[in-house]
Amino acid sequence: MGKISEFKEHDYEVIAREYADLMEVARKRCSNTEEQKIIHKAFEFANQAHKGVRRRSGEPYIIHPIAVAKIVVTNIGLGYKSIVAALLHDVVEDTDYTVDDLRNLFGDKVATLVEGLTKIKTVLDNEDKAEQKSMQAENFKRILLTLNDDVRVVLIKLADRLHNCRTIDSMPDHKRDKILSETMFVFIPLAHRLGLYGIKSEMEDIWLKYKEPEAYNDIKAKINRNISDKEKEIDQFIIPIREALKNADMNFEIKKRVKTPYSIWHKMNTKGVTFEQIYDLYAVRIIFDPSGSKETERDICYHIFSIITAMYKYKSDRVRDWVNFPKSNGYEALHCTLMSHTGIWIETQIRSTRMNEIAEKGIAAHWLYKKDGQTTEGESEMDKWITKVKEILVSPDINALELLDLIHDDLLKSEILVFTPKGDQKTIDKGATALDFAYLIHSHIGAKAIAAKINLKLVPLSTVLRTGDQVEIITAENERPKQDWLHFVQTSKARKLILDQIKSERHTFIKTGRTMLTERLKEIGKSLNDKVVGSLMHDFEMFDSKPEELFFKIGCGMIPLDDLAERLKKYYGINSESYFIVSNSDANHKFVLAPCCTPILGESVVGFKSADGTITVHTRTCKTANSLAAKFGDKIVSVKWGVEANSGSNYLARLALRGTDRIGMINDITRITSKDHDVNIRRFNLGTEDGVFDGFIDLYVHNIKDLEKLIDELKGIKGIESVTRTEL
C-alpha cells in the first residue's frame, strides 16, 4: 500500500485543499444535502483508515482516492454513490475494515461497488503467486465480469487507472512498463469503447510521454509553436460562423481544440507523414442547445452544416455522419473538414448539448439521458456490445488469456452497417465476411451456412461486407463447420463458435498440426525440437500454453506456416551478455531480438524473460510487447544497450515506400540508400500501377539515428509521398 510516517501540517493542508476541490464539483451531482453528508462521511472514514500512510510519491495516501473520486464525477459524470465508492475503494484491501463494515455504514450498493473493486485489485496484486496462468488476464476477466453486476465498477476502475498513470513518474521502470502496457492494451481500448474520449486521450498521451519521450516533447513543442502561429487564423475562421449562427437565431457555443500529441504521433507513424502534412490538426466544435426549437437535433445539425459549407469549401471525403448512424459507443455528431480563407484545413464538429455530454462522459451520460426518457439509437448499440461481452464471459471453455485477446481485438475494431433481407439494420465489424454475418444472426445459421446473397448476387461465404450491403444467408441442413472457415472469419464471436463446434476433433487437429509442422520444417532443412517449438510459441504469445495448443492451432488453420522459414530466421540469439545490460542482475543471459519489431541500437527497449532464462528484447512501443506486458507483467525485465551493441553491428529494418513513379526514381532511392549512407540493402521490392508505386526495402543499419536520417532524406526525393518503418 505505502509507507507509514507521521503527517505534518503541510500534509493536512494538502488533504483539506484536495477535498474542498472534490466537494465543489461533487455538489453538482448531489440532489440534496443528505447525499453531500454521505460523501463527507466517506471522506472522514477513508481519511482515518489511511492516516499516516503515504504513496510511493511521498504524498498522503488519501490524495489518491480523492483524485479518483474527482475523475469519477468530472470526467465520467457519475453520482454520489460512485463518488463514495471511489473514496472507499482501497479501504477493504489495505486496512482491517471489511465489506460488511462498509455495508453497515454506507449501504448495500456502495459496499457492492467497493467489493467489486477489491476483488479486481486482489487479483492484480497477487499476480506474482500465479502458477501456469496469467493473473493479469484473470484480473481483466474480473473487471469485465463486473459488467454483469454494475458497470460503475469498471468506470471507477478506469478512474483509478487514470490517476495511477498521472502519478506514474514515481514508479520503478519495470512497474511503469507493466502499467503503461496494460493501459495501452486494455484500458485505453475499454475507455474508447465506453465513450470516455477524455480519459482515453489523456492515457494515450501519458503512454507516449514515457514510451517515446523525445517524440512526445518534439510534438508538444511543434503544437505550441503552431498554435501561436495559427490561433489568429482560427479565430478569423470562427467569426463569420458565429455571426451566421446568431442570424439564424441559434443558441450555441463554439470551442477550439488541437489534436493530441499521441494522435499526431500515431498518424505520423502509421501514415508515414510529417507533422506539417497533418491537415486536420485543428478542430472547431459547434455545440447547440435545441431546447425551444421546433426542429429535431438531427435537422439542426444538417441546418448548421448547410450554413457553414455555404461560407467555406469542404472536403467531401471527410464528411462523417454519426447523427444518422451513431457509433456503437453512442457517439453522435456531424463532422466535416473545411478550408479556411487563409488556406488551412479545420475539422468542424457539430453536436447538440446532449451529444456533447455523451461524447465527454460516455456510457454514464447514456444512462442519465435514458433515465430522463431521452433514449437514443447509440445507447442501444452500447447495450448490444455489453450483451456481446457477457455472452463471451459466460462461456465455460474460454480461459482468461483467450478472453483478453478476444475482447482486445473487439474493442479496437470499427464497425459498418448492413441489412437483413427484411431491411433490419445490423452492426458488424469492419472487414467482416458473410459468414461472420451468419454467426451474428444465430450460431445455428452460421454452422449450416453454405453461401450468401449480397444485394441479391450469389457470393461465397468469405466475401467481405461493405456498409449498406443487404445480406441473405443460404443454409443446408446437412452442412457443418469447416476448418477452412477459420482462415477468413474476422469476428471474435464467429471464430469462438467455430472453434467450439470443431473441438470434438481436437485430438485429430493436434496430430495433423504436428505432422504439418514436422513436414514444413523438413522442407526448410530443420527438425522439430523444443527450441523450434519454444521460439514459435513465444512468437505467437503462447507463454502459458502447452505445445499441443500450438499443434492444434496449426492443425485447424489458425496459425499458417507459409512464413515459417522467415520466422525462424528472424528469431536469432545474441550470446554475449555485453550486448545488453540487465538492471539489478549480475548473471549472464542469452538475448533474443524480437522478430516482430526488430529493435535497432539506440531505440528504447524492454525485455521479457522466458522460463529458460532467455530474454527477448522488444522496442517499448511494439504492439506485441504491450500485449505481453499486459498479460505477463512479472516477466518484464529492464534492459539497456550494452558496449558490444556499438561494435560495428548491423540491424535489420524494413521501410515501406509509396509515391508517384517517374524515370530515375529507383536510381535516386538506391543512390541515397547505398552510396550516400553506405547502407547494405538486403531486399528491394517496388511495384508500379497507374503511375503510383509502393513497396519496401529491407536494409541493415548501424543505429536508430542513421535510420531516422535515411528516412528523412528519402522523404525529400521528388515524388515520394511516404516512408514508414514497418514490420518485417
Strand-strand pairing, 692-701 and 651-660 = antiparallel
- Quick one: CA torsion of 275, 278, 282, 286, rounded to 10 degrees? -160
Separation of alpha carbons 64 and 53, rounded Å: 11
Selected catalytic residue, list 94, 280, 321, 694: 94
CB-CB contact of 211 with 180 (8 Å): yes
DSSP 208-219: HHHHSHHHHHHH
Separation of alpha carbons 153 and 5, rounded Å: 31
- Looking up cell 478476444 gives 406
DSSP 81-131: HHHHHHHHTTHHHHSS--HHHHHHHH-HHHHHHHHHHHHHHHHHHTGGG-S
Separation of alpha carbons 234 and 347, rounded Å: 11
Separation of alpha carbons 229 and 680, rounded Å: 42
The H helix count followed by the E strand count for the chain is 29, 23
Exposed, middle or buried by CB within 10 Å (0-12, 13-18, 19+), for 369?
middle
Selected catalytic residue, list 18, 93, 409, 721: 93
Nearest alpha-carbon partner for 355 in 419, 297, 291, 398 = 297
Is 276 catalytic? The answer is: no
Strands (E), 407-454: 415-419, 425-429, 449-454
Is 93 catalytic? The answer is: yes
Amino acid, single-letter form, for residue 533: V
Binning the chain into helix, strand and coil, the percentages to the nearest 5 are 55, 15, 30
Catalytic residues: 93-94
